[in-house]
Amino acid sequence: MKAERLEQLLGEGVWDEVLLPQISRETFELLLRYILSAGIDKKAFEIRVDSIRDIETRSKAMTLAQQYHQEGLIEGLTEGLTKGRQKGFLEGVLKSRRQDVVEALEIRFGTIPDWISSGVNGIEDEKKLKFLHRSAIQSASLEEFVQSL
């Protein structure tokens, strides 16, 4: 939504103090949810709510705004935790796959040069690591493996 239109959501037409007390709680909740989800300037919103003269309407707006803010925080935390777990799981899988490749090379060919293990440890693609693990097992020589690296 354009900034100009967002600002209109805080304008007098929307916040008419004669009309606000007359709309249903559900409609008022929908309005607040829309405004808060539209990316409105939160400080400007708070100033607008603080300017409401009718104490009951102002209190209702602040209570709902705080409730939605809390819901947003909880959703954000939950999403962050989920993404963190997924990222941690993937990092664990990649680490394990890298170790499998290096271990297979060491079992097959003995000590391997650091630049090869560094190259393997720099790979972030699970499919590539799976391919390299097979290659480490099937390659006739370390040089042949390096070609698949």
Residue 125 reports pLDDT greater than 50: yes
* pLDDT band of 100, cuts 50, 70, 90: very high
pTM of the predicted protein model: 0.49
Report which of residues 34 and 107 the model is more confident about: 107
Q: Give the contacts of 31 (CB within 8 A, at least 6 positions apart).
A: 14, 23
Q: What is the dihedral of CA 36, 41, 42, 45, to 10 degrees?
A: -80
* pLDDT band of 43, cuts 50, 70, 90: confident
